[in-house]
A and B are shown apart, each in its own frame.
Chain A
Amino acid sequence: MVKGNNNKRMSSKNSKGRSNSDNTTQRERKKRVKELLIQLGKDVYRDLDDGRFPELHIPSRSVSNIVYDKTLRQYILGRAKITRSSKNIRHLRSFTQLVWLAFFVDKLVNEGKTSTLRDVYYSSQAFDIDFEDQAESDHIITDLEALLSLSREDFNIYPEERSSIFGDLTIEYTVRGYEGRRLNLSDHPDGYLIGPSLSSAELVDTSAEMVIVVEKGGIFTRFVEENVHRRFKAIIVDTTGQAPRATRYLLKRLNTELRLPVHMLTDGDVYGEHIAMVIKSGSANAAHLRDLTVPDAKWLGVWASDIQKYRLPTDPMTEHDIKRCYELRQDPRYQSGIWKSELELFMKIKRKSELEAFAKYGLTKITDDYLPEKLEEAKSL
């Protein structure tokens, strides 16, 4: 465990405004979640008791209400809201499902238990709620997210863990049974799964000066072996492909609470480019959530131009890859900067390279040459 020194960053505990993100502690955040849920229950109760059909106003997630906000640099929901009313025979079922979910989540949170999407679907059957299939229950979960502007992880609904983190970062648990206990995330060389307890832990302090995000487990292991965390003073995060929301949320917290810049390394293809873009500016289907983006995150590579520059071995792009390029070309976020130029170049060379391709020039090529060069370049991005 790295001992504290003056270079350590302490998590800033200034709470700012009404947003759920930025410098509120996890405990405060949890408290807020509970309050919102109880309030929801009270509102519905009051309506019923007064002889009114209760209704809920949910921000609309239809395509027409999703817009790209240039200031926030992510997709957000517009002002349109949908009224779901228990008076309307067509809404009755989904309304009930939503209220049940809030009730269920409330119990989860209070009991300190977590649940996967599948667990939610099965749990509903104990309460005679009859979701037709998991897709239906997933949608209701998204509805609740939109309604309360909280992510499902706030509700203790977690997907299966798959991302990892490693580095000099001290956390303090908030989960039941572990409250107050601390851990440093460089104690175990295989890294730590980013799960519910880590996502909900307080970030105490760190000696790192940056976060390096990689998309593949193999590179993660390489970096740990090569002491990247010490040499570059970095916290390494492995997203295993498209970053799960818990991971993105954690990245945001590292960025805002600990003020660590986030640098991303992905495979040299259109999918890698997009993984980086999502970390930076979010996805349309999470447009109703705000704490999942790191707008200042930088994509170090592998760029299309890197493929040429470093003469990496390549594979041809598939038709699917090419189709994806065309799709992304329409995305407003890809209209400027390296996002645009690199995408165009991918489309031109029609070839792609993985991060592991550097191994052609030696196992440490990537850590000894590529990484430092790119970090240097990043300073001017």
Chain B
Amino acid sequence: MSSTSDSNNSLYSISNSRDSRAVTPRFSEISPSEFFYRNRDLAGFTNPSRALYMTVRELVENSLDACDLSLILPEIYVSIKAVDINEGEPRQYTVTVKDNGPGIDPDRVPLAFGKVLYGTKFTLRQSRGMFGLGATMAILYGQITTNRPATVSSIRERVAYQYTLMLDIQGNRPIVLNKSVYDSSKEHGLEVSITLVGDYSKAQQKIKDYIVQTALITPYADIVFEEPNDNMMTFNRIMDKMPSPPVEVRPHPAGIDVETLRRLIVNDSMSISYASKEKVMREMKSKEVRDILLIARERWGTLTHDTRTTLSLIALLDIPLDDIERIRIDKIDLVNWEIHYTRLLTNESNIAKLDGVEPFKSHIVSIAEGYTLVEFLARNFQRVGPNIARRFLEFAGFDPDKSIGMLTNDDIVRLADAMQRYSGFLPPDATCLSNIGEDALESSIRSMFKPEFVAVVQRPASAYSGFPFIVEAGLAYGGSIDSKGLRLYRFANKIPLLYDESNDVVWKVIEDIDWSRYKVKIEEMPMILVTHIYSTRIPYKTVGKEYVADRPEIEYELKNALRYLARRLSLHLSKKGSMAMAKKRLGLYAKYLPLIARFSMELGRADKEPRYRVLLRLGEQYEMEYSDGNTMDTDQEGDNSKGKDVAGM
């Protein structure tokens, strides 16, 4: 997005002649798609096998995200088929992913898949994928390795809109080769097919692991995977309950850098919000449109900002209130004192003079200058209201009422820096996060691994650098688990991380913990550890999303989670030990009492057995109590069959 190329922005750009170079974003020189074309390693498309794996991932993740947001129980179908089975590896494969999600607005399909979108959104939402970059990358990779188009079908209301697409890499534009519409038996969904050169023999294990682990972390999804050899892996959902979808939130000041701040300011300056006719009428408490401006001037102090904007516009543009929905403001020119606008129905552009009656004129001018700093902060950041904004601005050394249109480049840098240093912001809001929860995680682990013991824990929400996050973890032991030593399954935002385990923060934490303290032998015992981090932004070390960087806050939560799980396992193991011992004791009274009776009878020269039946019954009772974990009071020296001798004398 460049401020020089878009003429609409010229008056709203923050730059003045002194700073223009610093403001100009540099990627107008190379399109994003070209950038990633040249640097596909960054996106994870390093070689044929990895590319195949990444393609599956990106498509599946998009599908699951879409289903999550719409609260549709996902049904995902994945297939990988060789184009020509007689070719040697690596060879061309067609990867198809079909889902039952809400589909995409058919008109938006080409842009959604054919253009590398980059950085226009400021709001954050926990999601698996990264705003469409991945799927487009897959199409890009497919295209450059096979020169074949991709197929995308979006199904809504039983109608499928199928596109055949390619990418204009340099122009960062989609090329629609074909579009067809037909009836579908599905209610809604999305189907994507990409043909690329891949190496299934090398990617096979990772892809299968990915599917299996995705099923583990998404226990409410039905997943089917069809391999090139027609083998099918099926995972049925084990629950019908979906987690509430993640909520989109505004960023937190601590999570902002200079560039983003600059764009926020530009963005805010550009938006003009005004009230609808209904709202205006409500506020004016008037049913009559005539003389509305007169009444408005009288009541000016009581009106809201947006209502004032509407009224000012109809005043200056000299249009009726009904027409406020039928125009679009293109530019407010403070140099020439003009308002440029377009009538939507006729698409004709008009210019009105920006002068005349107060308070309307001043109001429009103030809009053009942009919001004040206080307003800007309160509008754009989460958990920042006017009070906190004012306190922060005082700390940062800015006049709260200064309008953002007047900020210089240096100002923005100072502002961003102050945001990092200020400690008075409330912690980031974690309610926007969506996790599957302890019960679901436990059920899923049990269902997949059938262990003897499972413990799960969800840590309280925390934050790093302005981004909220939650750590969830589960530890399973024994039962059908047959590994020798600990196996780790890492997840972030409900996607499995399969590569670079040793670089991941989780592994670092595992090594830091002294497991022997809990009598847990991670190198020998059959254990599975599942770790899951949710955040509005996962601090991956690379765009390839395979391992998480070691932020101290995340490390802290992981460590506490793992320690808790280790303690739980330790308890289980010791209980198991003593229960095993207790089990051995069952039937002891039944075994020994008769012997005691017999020996004492002969020793004591009696002629019949003593009557000890009642003791047998009591003994049974004691044994039951004992194996329930109630120990009987013992003076521990009673069992002195191993008497202690004074050494050697």
Contact = CB atoms under 8 A, between A and B. Distances in A.
Contacts of B604: 38, 40-46
B633 to A, nearest CB: 8
B588 A92 contact: yes
Interface in B125-167: none
Interface in A37-87: 37-38, 40-46, 48-49, 51-54, 58, 60-63, 66, 75, 82-87
B644 A62 contact: yes
A319 interface: no
Interface stretch (A111-119, A139-147, A224-232): A139-147
A89 B588 contact: yes
B59 to A, nearest CB: 62
B593 A102 contact: no
Nearest to B593: A86
A284 B645 contact: yes
Interface stretch (A93-101, A164-172, A309-317): A93-101
A61 B642 CA distance: 10
A51 B626 CA distance: 21
A127 B596 CA distance: 11
27 contacts: A38-B604, A38-B605, A41-B604, A42-B606, A45-B606, A48-B611, A49-B610, A49-B612, A53-B615, A83-B635, A87-B622, A88-B632, A88-B634, A88-B638, A89-B585, A89-B632, A90-B632, A90-B634, A91-B639, A92-B588, A99-B595, A99-B596, A99-B603, A102-B603, A129-B595, A143-B640, A278-B649
B599 interface: yes
A106 B603 contact: yes
Contacts of A66: 646
A75 B593 CA distance: 36
B597 interface: yes
Interface in B576-629: 585, 588-589, 592-593, 595-597, 599-606, 610-612, 614-615, 618, 622-623, 626
Interface string A115-143: 00000000000011100000010011011
A58 B640 contact: yes
A327 interface: yes
Contacts of B298: none
A308 B606 CA distance: 67
Nearest to B599: A103
Nearest to B598: A103
A285 interface: yes
Contact of A38 (B603, B610, B615, B641): B603
Contact of A94 (B601, B606, B639, B646): B639
A283 interface: yes
Contacts of A287: 646
A42 B604 CA distance: 4
Nearest to A101: B599
Interface residues of B, number: 41
A93 B612 CA distance: 17
Interface in A182-197: none
A142 B622 CA distance: 29
Contacts of A51: 611-612, 614-615
A377 interface: no
Contacts of A82: 635, 637-638, 640
A139 B644 CA distance: 10
Contact of B623 (A52, A86, A89, A95): A89
B611 to A, nearest CB: 6
A331 interface: yes
Given A43-B604, A93-B588, A142-B643, 5 more contacts: A82-B635, A87-B622, A99-B599, A99-B603, A285-B649
B623 A285 contact: no
A60 B639 CA distance: 11
Interface in B228-271: none
Contacts of B635: 82-83
B596 A40 contact: no
B648 interface: yes
A245 to B, nearest CB: 14
A58 B597 CA distance: 20
List the 4 shortest-distance A-B pairs measured between CB atoms, nearest first.
A41-B603, A41-B604, A284-B646, A48-B610
A287 to B, nearest CB: 8
A285 B612 contact: no
Interface size class of A (residues with CB under 8 A): 35 or more
B468 to A, nearest CB: 54
A368 B239 CA distance: 102
A44 B600 contact: yes
Interface string A209-248: 0000000000000000000000000000000000000000
A45 B600 contact: yes
A294 to B, nearest CB: 17
Given A51-B611, A89-B588, A93-B588, A136 B641 contact: yes
A54 B596 CA distance: 9
Contacts of A88: 632, 634, 638
A62 B639 contact: no
B596 A60 contact: no
A49 B618 CA distance: 14
Of B596, B601, B615, B647, chain A has the most CB atoms within 10 Å of the CB of B596
A315 B570 CA distance: 57
B649 A128 contact: no
Interface string B4-41: 00000000000000000000000000000000000000
A129 B603 CA distance: 16
Contacts of A52: 615
Nearest to A40: B603
Contacts of B606: 42, 45
A285 B641 CA distance: 14
A91 to B, nearest CB: 5
Contacts of A283: 649
Contacts of B649: 75, 278, 283-285, 331
A89 B640 contact: no
A24 to B, nearest CB: 23
Nearest to B640: A82
Nearest to B589: A92
A256 to B, nearest CB: 23
Contacts of A327: 647-648
Nearest to A83: B638
A128 B640 CA distance: 21
Contacts of A136: 641-642
A96 B596 contact: yes
A127 B602 CA distance: 14
B589 A63 contact: no
Contact of A128 (B595, B615, B646, B647): B595
Nearest to B633: A88
Contacts of A103: 599-600, 602-603
B595 A100 contact: yes
B592 A86 contact: yes
Interface string B306-322: 00000000000000000
A138 to B, nearest CB: 10
Contacts of B593: 48, 86
Contacts of A102: 599, 603
B602 A60 contact: no
